[in-house]
Amino acid sequence: MRKTEFRGYFGEFVATLLLLLKGYRILKHRYKLSGGEIDIIAKRGNKISFVEVKTRKNEEKCQIAITPQQLLRIRNVSQFFLKKHPKYLNCDLSYDVILVADWCLPKHIENVSI
């Protein structure tokens, strides 16, 4: 496994732990379609969160790695998820980002505007 691939898996692991500690239930990891991927889909109460995880050496590089095109792809993939799981259609939706940087606590940014 390459170092960057390991870093990505580690970041998703840390993000998953953070969400669990915050009371979320993980519905899906790495939900993939031909149009893109959502790293984590989680539920807490009546809210479904579609979470993008960015893992880099520092928080600034994490933030730079988030592009509007990427967030739009996540939104598009989330619509397919909701079509396949209609029981979640009445839930509040949130598009979140979790930044995982070396030697820093992970940062959960909720309701990123797309």
Residue ranges of domains in the chain: 3-109
Rounded to whole angstroms, the Cα distance separating 22 from 10 reads: 19
The string of pLDDT tens digits covering residues 23-63 is: 999 999 999 998 889 999 999 999 999 999 999 988 788 78
Residue 51 CB neighbours (<10 A)? 26
Please answer whether residues 18 and 35 qualify as being in contact, where contact means their C-beta atoms are separated by less than 8 angstroms.
no
Please answer whether residues 82 and 74 qualify as being in contact, where contact means their C-beta atoms are separated by less than 8 angstroms.
no
Global confidence as pTM? 0.92
- Per mean pLDDT, which range of 18-22, 30-34, 60-64, 105-109 is the poorest? 60-64
The highest-level CATH class for domain 3-109 is alpha beta
pLDDT at residue 6, rounded to an integer: 83
